[in-house]
């Protein structure tokens, strides 16, 4: 009993320690304060022009936070400014977290990356592939290659989101209402298994609900609800106290409103949530887009990865597993959205070269973003992490500016 109590105390202390990254003056980590000071006025300009409601920018280098600034409002109508504790919908920035959950189980030897998904999700055993639609009905092809876990992790599964221009299949996705409030992950998978794939697995990179399927895979393999697995194996150990699939009542004053720019008036307007759950504060456990988080929480997640799977003595993954995750897994000739400068790892976009991947980012930088214009990147070569949080549906012209201003501040 004493040994169990001691172990619990050690884990508790480690978890508390993991909750905060040290801060520093930029010069200590090879960044220029003068050059970083360009960020805030430029972000403020976007607020003044009505591009978005508020922006938070955070930069860490060599394990220390060297920049954190906020401009604008998390709630314009009530004049509530963005703070470092503002909670944001991160949408597709949920995907890397889900992918890490999958890799935790992979490290435990519970499956191989090239195992058929149907081995764990029998509903996927008899999937078909869309070929054509005729007056007589759908023409479907049998699978040439079974969908694997690697296919899901890399968006080469043949699944889609229902908005990519695959007209017949898109309508089937819309009718299925996969993320309907009250739906379980198992029910989502059952609905999905009745819809044909748009291409054969491994044939194309198509952004999709693949990561949501992986959320259910985590449930099946781990034997616990997906939300519980994330909390116990990632959020609690890393001190990500504000990350989850809901916003508790005592935190709702920190939750940002969502905005969009009206095409006709050009004015910034409050927006409804993308329908992924039961309302404004409780969301479907979508591994692909259901989480809320803060910049500080997400920075701890990113720093763990940059450290090779460890944050202040709390190890989530092994170093070689992180190396595997941040390697390009797409077959020759496949790229993200046909951009030959961007590959895809196990849950992340991978910069294949410096010139074509957004400018200045190092080859091997891994990153992703969310539907409400949140972004992050992790640059192992420069030991650099950038995070931008906002809540805007639509064009975000400040992304490239933030990246450029960050990299141009490197002086060591």
Provide the token pair at 164.
């990519």
Q: How confident is the model at residue 356 (pLDDT cuts 50, 70, 90)?
A: low
What is the residue extent of each domain of the chain? Answer: 103-222
How much is the average pLDDT of 70-90? 97
Least confident window among 82-96, 133-147, 272-286, 386-400: 272-286
Region of residue 19 (phi > 0: left; psi between -120 and 50: alpha; otherwise: beta): alpha
Per-residue model confidence (pLDDT) at position 190: 97
Residue that is written with structure tokens 């003056």 in the block: 25
Pairwise CA distance, residues 217 & 122, whole Å? 11
Pairwise CA distance, residues 369 & 91, whole Å? 8
Is the pLDDT reported for residue 5 higher than 80?
A: no
How much is the average pLDDT of 364-374? 97
Q: Model confidence over 158-200: pLDDT tens digits?
A: 999 998 778 899 999 999 999 988 889 999 999 999 999 999 9
Is the pLDDT reported for residue 255 higher than 90?
A: yes
% residues pLDDT > 90 (the chain): 83
How much is the average pLDDT of 3-8? 42
How much is the average pLDDT of 270-292? 83
pLDDT: which is higher, 7 or 142: 142
Q: How confident is the model at residue 32 (pLDDT cuts 50, 70, 90)?
A: very high
Pairwise CA distance, residues 391 & 323, whole Å? 31
Q: Which of 127, 278, 152 is nearest to 212 (CA)?
A: 152
Per-residue model confidence (pLDDT) at position 164: 74
Beta carbons within 8 Å of 12's beta carbon, 6+ residues apart: none
Beta carbons within 8 Å of 153's beta carbon, 6+ residues apart: 99, 102, 113, 210, 211, 214, 329, 346, 347
Is the pLDDT reported for residue 4 higher than 80?
A: no
Least confident window among 6-20, 63-77, 371-385, 393-407: 6-20
Cα dist from 313 to 24, 238, 296, 317, 319, whole Å: 21, 10, 18, 12, 13
Pairwise CA distance, residues 398 & 388, whole Å? 9
Per-residue model confidence (pLDDT) at position 277: 58
Mean pLDDT for the chain overall? 92
Pairwise CA distance, residues 218 & 276, whole Å? 19
Least confident window among 73-82, 212-221, 266-275, 293-302: 266-275
Q: How confident is the model at residue 287 (pLDDT cuts 50, 70, 90)?
A: very high
CA angle at 344 for the pair 343 and 349, rounded to the nearest 5°? 90
Is the pLDDT reported for residue 120 higher than 90?
A: yes
CATH for the stretch 103-222: 3.40.710.10
How much is the average pLDDT of 26-39? 98
């Amino acid at each position: 009993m004493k040994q169990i109590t001691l172990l619990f105390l050690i884990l508790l202390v480690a978890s508390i320690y993991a909750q905060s990254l040290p801060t520093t003056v930029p010069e200590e980590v090879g960044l220029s304060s003068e050059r970083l000071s360009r960020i805030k006025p430029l972000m403020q300009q976007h607020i003044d022009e009505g591009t978005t409601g508020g922006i938070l920018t955070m930069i860490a280098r060599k394990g220390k936070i060297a920049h954190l600034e906020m401009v604008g409002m998390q709630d314009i109508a009530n004049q509530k400014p963005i703070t470092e504790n503002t909670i944001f919908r991160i949408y597709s920035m949920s995907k890397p977290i889900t992918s890490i959950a999958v890799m935790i189980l992979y490290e435990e030897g519970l499956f191989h990356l090239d195992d058929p998904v149907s081995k764990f999700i029998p509903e996927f055993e008899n999937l078909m592939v869309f070929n054509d639609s005729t007056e007589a009905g759908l023409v479907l092809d049998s699978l040439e290659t079974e969908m694997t876990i690697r296919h899901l992790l890399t968006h080469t599964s043949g699944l889609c989101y229902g908005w990519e221009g695959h007209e017949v299949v898109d309508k089937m996705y819309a009718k299925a209402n996969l993320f309907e409030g009250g739906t379980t992950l198992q029910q989502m998978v059952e609905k999905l298994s009745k819809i044909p794939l748009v291409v054969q697995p491994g044939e194309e990179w198509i952004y999709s609900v693949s990561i949501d399927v992986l959320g259910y895979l985590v449930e099946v393999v781990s034997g616990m609800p997906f939300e519980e697995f994330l909390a116990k194996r990632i959020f609690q150990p890393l001190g990500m106290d504000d990350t989850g699939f809901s916003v508790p009542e005592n935190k709702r004053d920190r939750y940002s409103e969502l905005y969009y720019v009206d095409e006709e008036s050009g004015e910034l307007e409050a927006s409804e949530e993308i329908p992924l759950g039961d309302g404004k504060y409780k969301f479907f456990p979508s591994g692909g887009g259901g989480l809320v988080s803060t910049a500080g929480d997400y920075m701890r997640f990113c720093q763990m990865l940059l450290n090779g799977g460890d944050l202040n003595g709390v190890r989530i993954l092994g170093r070689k597993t992180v190396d595997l995750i941040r390697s390009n897994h797409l077959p020759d000739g496949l790229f993200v959205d046909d951009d030959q400068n961007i590959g895809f790892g196990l849950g992340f976009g991978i910069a294949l070269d410096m010139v074509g991947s957004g400018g200045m980012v190092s080859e091997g930088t891994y990153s992703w973003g969310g539907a409400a214009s949140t972004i992050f990147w992790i640059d192992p070569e420069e030991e650099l992490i950038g995070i931008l949080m906002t809540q805007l549906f639509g064009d975000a012209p400040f992304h490239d500016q933030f990246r450029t201003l960050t990299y141009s501040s490197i002086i060591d």
